[in-house]
Structure 1
Amino acid sequence: MIHPLDPRTAPGSTLYAARPAEISPAEWRARVDLAAAYRLASRHGWDDQIYTHISMRVPDRDNAYLMNPYGFRFEEITASNLLLVDTQGNVIDGTGRRGNPTGFAIHGAVHHARADAHCVMHLHNDAIIAVGALKQGLLPLSQHAMRFWNHISYHDYEGLALSAAEQGRLLASLGNNSAMLLRNHGSLTCGRTVAEAYVLMFDLDKSCMTQLAAMSASDQLVQPSDEVLHQTQANLALGPTPDGELEWASLLRKLLREEPDFNT
């Protein structure tokens, strides 16, 4: 169904109008969505200078995904300046530009292992790093956090370099979950769409900020019963269709108004 307010489908929308002739419509749509995710992450303060990444599998190419070129801030990302790489970390767009090797290691491993992980977000969010450094990790203290109850992974920090052996351990830590705290390091979410990975990251970040605020105010924390947590988590769990579609359409409208160069 065409929604008159969804810039991805609305008649006359300029969202995808700048597509170069040499890039397929499917890849260009992925590029525009991914560039939007970078700009939105920058607005939240989720960027860490030039050192974190959001990647998107290219819909019409095997073993290829898009991510930011090394040295660009999130606010500088556009649909056309994203890198095209393979799951082994090789830049295959013919430009000779560089990517961050650690980013290739994390994103390439997840894209290769998880068919459902079309978009992978790896960030260094302040609140998530702090909660990941707590022994108890994320607690179900807010409704946002309850969606992750018993459905979030943890991976212990092993240093800056991500070896092939650690790639395997990271994937084992992630399992079938769509969100993970990288202890002493950052966050990871993966989604069937950019929208799904983004809303998961939004909820995870808000969950951690809320937990830190509650813990700083008192050590007398109130947690719902396991029965309520089971019910709430089931209600908020990901379903058969990707989450975040309505939210994503509204966010794209905002970017088209305020940062109209992201889709160029």
Structure 2
Amino acid sequence: MATMASEKSTMRAEEWQARQELAACYRVFDMLGWSEMIYNHITLKVPGEEGAFLINPFGLHFSEVRASNLVKIDIDGNKLDDNPYPVNLAGFTQHSVFHRHLPDVHCIAHTHTTAGMAVSSVEGGLRATNFYACNFAGQIAYHDFEGVTVRAEEGERLIAHLGEKRAMLLRNHGILVMGGSVPEAFIKHWALQRACEIQIATMSLGTPLTVSDDVVAVHQRDLSKAQVPGGPGKADFEAMVRLVDRTDKSWRD
């Protein structure tokens, strides 16, 4: 795309790096089976630009997202580049409210995975019945389904229901996770997705064994001892990007 090529020549290195990291994340999500046609979103704040963030072009599959075709918008929905692609109103409405009010949140991912939607659609939501679910015990927020998220006034309730938590199950809807970086949001989504998948498998076999609050507390206390240095999800995300690169590096463009 000629216009994007000319913009890249004058783009700050920090923005291009952010674009590549976010584009890689879209490809990783697709590789792991978390795409949903042309829907769902991962957004990332643009470093050094107050109120600006990147979002996927509406109409493209996750597998088609590239660094150059990500759309840069502000928190009021105005395009900040001459990208020809539109932006999904549902994605903007939901993500912009968090980017506006949560300075610690840099990356947000929302998906409609089968497991995420299923667990968000049952009484009790996620239960502390498996290793990954124990990661999130007491740390999951819930927001009742109000229909497709296109009304700005719903944002007040999303923020209120999220509180101090940074992972949410949108009831009857799916997964929403947030991180201070792309890798952190990725690994949070990966663990929550695994927790939901395993809960579904467990409940199909019989009555799940619930982990006690005391053991959950020990588990959450000790999790950091089993992480690779470099920040939450960094090594995990880089490993997934290497897998993507084995078959397609076009996300880098």
**TM-score clears 0.5:** yes
Residue aligned with 2:9, SS: coil
Checking the alignment, whether the CA contact within 8 Å between 1:154 and 1:182 is kept in structure 2 is yes
Q: Distance in 1 between the 2:218 and 2:98 partners?
A: 30
State the TM-score, normalizing by the size of structure 1: 0.88
Rounded Cα–Cα distance in structure 1 between residues aligned with 2:223 and 2:125: 20
What is residue 78 of structure 1 aligned with on the other side? 66
* Counterpart contact for 2:53–2:75, Cα < 8 Å: yes
Distance 1:162 1:242 in 2: 34
CA distance in 1, matches of 2:245, 2:100: 32
1:213-258 CA deviation, whole Å, 9 max, x = no partner? 000111x211222110111123337x9x841111122222222332
Give the 4+ runs in structure 1 shifted more than 6 A.
none
> Which residue is 2:233 aligned to?
244
State which drifts further: 157-166 or 133-142. 157-166
Alignment of 1:195-214 (within 5 A): 195-214=183-202
C-alpha offsets along residues 29-68 of structure 1, whole Å, 9 cap, x if unaligned? 1111100110111112211111110000001211000010
Q: Equivalents in 1 of 2:244, 2:33: separation in Å?
A: 16
Shift of the alpha carbon at 1:96? 4.1
Helix, strand or coil at the partner of 1:78: coil
Quick check: 1:147–1:234 contact (8 Å CA) kept in 2?
Answer: no
Distance 2:162 2:75 in 1: 18
For 1:46 and 1:104, locate their aligned partners in 2 and report how far apart those are by CA, in whole Å. Answer: 19
Structure 1 letter corresponding to 2:215: V
For residues 11-50 of structure 1, the aligned pairs below 5 Å read 20-50=8-38
Instruction: Provide the C-alpha distance between the structure 1 equivalents of 2:155 and 2:190, rounded to a whole number of angstroms.
Output: 25
2:208 paired residue number: 221
Residue of structure 2 in register with 1:12 after alignment: none
In 1: Cα distance, 2:176 partner to 2:74 partner: 20
TM-score, normalisation: structure 2:
0.92
Partner Cα distance (2:84, 2:240) in 1: 32
- After superposition, give the CA deviation of every residue in 1:149-173 in whole Å (9 maximum; x if it has no partner): 0001000000114322210101111
Q: Is the 8 A contact 1:129 1:185 kept in 2?
A: yes
Indicate the residue corresponding to 2:4 in structure 1. Answer: none
Partner of 2:3: none
Number of residue pairs the alignment of both structures matches = 245
Q: Supply the AA of the counterpart residue of 1:111.
A: H
Q: Unmatched 5+ residue regions in structure 1?
A: 1-18
1:122-152 CA deviation, whole Å, 9 max, x = no partner? 1111101100111110001111111100001
Amino acid at match of 1:221: P
Matched-pair contact (CA < 8 Å) for 1:91–1:98: no
User: Contact conserved, 1:146 with 1:229, CA < 8 A, in 2?
Assistant: yes
In 1, Cα distance between equivalents of 2:223 and 2:151: 35
Tell me, in whole angstroms, the C-alpha distance in 1 between the residues paired with 2:79 and 2:223: 38
Conservation of the 8 A alpha-carbon contact between 1:193 and 1:242: no
Residue 242 of structure 2 corresponds to which residue in structure 1?
A: 253
SS in 1 for 2:237: helix
Structure 2, unmatched stretches of 5+, are 1-6
**Structure 1 or 2: larger helix share?**
2
Query: Which amino acid letter does the alignment assign opposite residue 166 of structure 1?
Result: E
Identical counterparts, % of pairs: 37
On the 8 A contact 2:28/2:241 being kept in 1, the answer is no
Task: From the superposition, tell whether residues 165 and 242 of structure 1 become closer, same or farther in structure 2 (CA, over 3 Å).
Answer: farther
Instruction: State the shift of 1:178 in Å.
Output: 1.5
| 1:181-192 paired onto structure 2 within 5 Å | 181-192=169-180
Question: Whole-Å Cα distance in 2 between the matches of residues 57 and 192 of structure 1?
Answer: 10
Amino acid at match of 1:217: L
| Equivalences for residues 1-264 of structure 1 within 5 A | 20-218=8-206, 220-236=207-223, 242-264=231-253
